[in-house]
Amino acid sequence: MRSRILAVCCLAVLLLPVFTGLAAAFETVLYNRMPVAAGQALIAVAPRHSRAAAVRALSADGFRVIRASTPDGQVLSPASWLHDAKAGERFLVVEFDPARPIDEALAALAETPGIVAAAPNQVFYPAFVPNDPFYQSHQSYLREMYLEKAWDLSRGDQVKVAVVDTGYILEGLTDGVINLLDGYDFADNDDNVSDTIGHGTQVANVIAHATNNGIGAAGVAPGARILPCKVFRDGEEGALESDILAAVDWAVQQGAQVINMSLGGGGYDSFSAETMSDAVAANVVVVAASGNEGAGSVSYPAAYEGVIAVGSCDTHAIGDFPTRSSFSNYGDALDFVAPGNAIIGETDYGQGIGFYVASGTSLASPMFAGAAALLIDVAGDGYTVEGIRKVFQQTANRDPDAGWDDELGWGEINVQAAMEAISGPIPNDPPIVHIIAKPLAGAAPLTVTFTGGASDSDGSIASYLWSFSSGETYYLLQFDHTFTKPGEYTVYLTASDDSGESASDHVVITVTPGDDNADSKSDRGCGVAGGAGWADLAIMPALLAVWSLAMGRRRRRAAEKAGIS
């Protein structure tokens, strides 16, 4: 009786997991800079190891099997996998305390008897390419700055960017900033930042247009929080320096991490120099436009020490070196260039709210401000203004044989390269490969139709390669292959993407011996596989002649043995 009770207890322990078929909601953590599910891992059990023993060993170390996935795509409950010895597994999913460090859990799994492989349960996200209509048709300049991969890592969430400009249109936009903060009007000394000119609205939208919403255009840092600082009075084309400096000081006090000033004019004075210096000393990235006169000197406030002066470069093919826009000011104080020619954004320049295309260093500057927000988000609390500047400087797109020059500064910002300099390489998702083979089994000769495909979330498929365990290779997506001999054949499909990542899937084809007896009873004729068609009938006389010759030789040999000549 005792042994029976113990057996029942052990069975109860092994069946404790409740199978839902789907993983419960999970928390995402970073492991080696990759997003993974906290408290989960994938494992493989040695083929001849006792499954029950493996489950007991896992349980003793705080792990619980929650599901099994088979090579043919089935998802099994722990109980089904445990008690069906014929059910193979590609991997098991185990869960553990989410507070347990991933590396510690993987180390423990590696020491668990019977476990031959363990890995974190990675979290994959669709690669981020905005579906905003104008992104594909009018915003190739964002791809020039290599933003797509950068968006996989950050969208500037929670980074506060002050825009010192004409304010922001508060009603009527269809694709405006999502995270718009309460700003201030320094020109009229009130809290009404409504923009009647339109310039500040487009500048802010370059930084943080609502993105991936199926409407309009994309912003550089769509998650950034925009703090409008209005310094132009309604209908006025100029802003007072006193208002601009008050706005900069206020933005610093409000916790702005980036300040953008798409304005310029005047000359050097100590008041402005001190204000800009104090803002930079407070660890604020201060960015300003170099000016639109095509002159050989950079406008103020961009020319002040510590301010990052951004000029404009023309649109170009991805990977080409930039060239300065003809209107862009250049000179000793220039730091970088960014796209500023034919930039689209939603605003109202006096003809109603819509999407306007405009050019100028006023639009290059917010490109840099948005990129800085992305880097600050990735760098975290440890970022410094000098560190942000230096990373962009070291990774800018320019002729590698040239250093700084007065036309382009350090070059055009490359956001992906700058991010990778901080966080390491941004992972490239491998392709996902699919195989359909029909039929999977049959008698020789067996003709199987193979159909393959692959998808790539962050790129495109560059090549396909089929390889057979019997040695054949194919490069097609669909084809027929005939197996003439019995056996088990493993067929692999490998897909490679445009970044060099590859992935494979495979299928096993089982070919059994052909049924000769069935052939002889059929009307297919003389045991010739597949039956005799018109082409086969043409060779029948030759076959009969060979048969007759062979029978004559047999009769002669028999006569010789019997002594008959």
Do 73 and 206 lie in one domain? The reply is: no
Q: Is 199 designated active site? A: yes
Residue 128 lies in a domain: no
**Domains of the chain: total:** 4
> In which domain, by residue range, is 481 found?
432-514
Q: Which residues pair with 509 in a beta bridge?
A: 489
Do 277 and 208 lie in one domain? The reply is: yes
Residues 239-298 have pLDDT tens digits of: 888 888 889 999 999 999 999 999 987 778 888 888 899 999 999 999 999 999 899 999
Determine which one of 138, 175, 195, 199 is catalytic: 199
pTM (whole model) above 0.85: no
Do 406 and 490 lie in one domain? The reply is: no
CA dihedral sign, ordered 397, 399, 400, 406: negative
Do 244 and 296 lie in one domain? The reply is: yes
Residue 6 lies in a domain: no
Mean pLDDT for the stretch of residues 511-535:
47
Q: What is the DSSP letter of 254?
A: T
What mean pLDDT, rounded, does the chain reach?
Answer: 81
409 contact partners, CB below 8 Å, separation of at least 6: 309, 311, 334, 335, 336, 337, 396
Do 226 and 314 lie in one domain? The reply is: yes
Mean pLDDT for the stretch of residues 499-516:
87
Q: Which residues pair with 474 in a beta bridge?
A: 466
Do 218 and 115 lie in one domain? The reply is: no
The CATH number that applies at residue 405 is: 3.40.50.200
Mean pLDDT for the stretch of residues 464-479:
92
Residue 223 lies in a domain: yes
Residue 73 lies in a domain: yes
Environment class of 423 (CB within 10 Å of its CB; exposed 0-12, middle 13-18, buried 19+) = middle
Determine which one of 77, 325, 359, 362 is catalytic: 362
Do 474 and 541 lie in one domain? The reply is: no
Do 455 and 497 lie in one domain? The reply is: yes
The CATH number that applies at residue 507 is: 2.60.40.10
Which residues in 413-501 belong to E strands, given as ranges?
A: 432-438, 441-443, 446-455, 461-468, 473-474, 478-483, 487-497
Cis status, amide bond into 71, omega within 30 of 0: no
125 contact partners, CB below 8 Å, separation of at least 6: 35, 152, 457
Residue 8 lies in a domain: no
Do 115 and 177 lie in one domain? The reply is: no
Of the residues 122, 148, 181, which one is the last residue of a structural domain? 122
Of the residues 397, 423, 449, which one is the last residue of a structural domain? 423
**Contact present, 298 and 330 (Cβ < 8 Å):** yes
Q: Residue 257 and residue 252: Cα distance in Å, rounded? A: 8
pLDDT higher than threshold 70 for residue 51: yes
Q: Is 152 designated active site? A: no
Residue 474 lies in a domain: yes
Structure tokens at 438: 């029909």
Most confident of 72-86, 466-480, 549-563: 466-480
Do 23 and 157 lie in one domain? The reply is: no
Do 443 and 545 lie in one domain? The reply is: no
Residue 241 lies in a domain: yes
- pLDDT at position 549 is 44
Q: Residue 305 and residue 328: Cα distance in Å, rounded? A: 20
Residues 173-202 have pLDDT tens digits of: 998 999 999 999 988 889 999 999 999 999
Do 350 and 295 lie in one domain? The reply is: yes
Of the residues 423, 452, 475, which one is the last residue of a structural domain? 423
- pLDDT at position 557 is 52
Determine which one of 132, 165, 243, 377 is catalytic: 165
Residue 127 lies in a domain: no
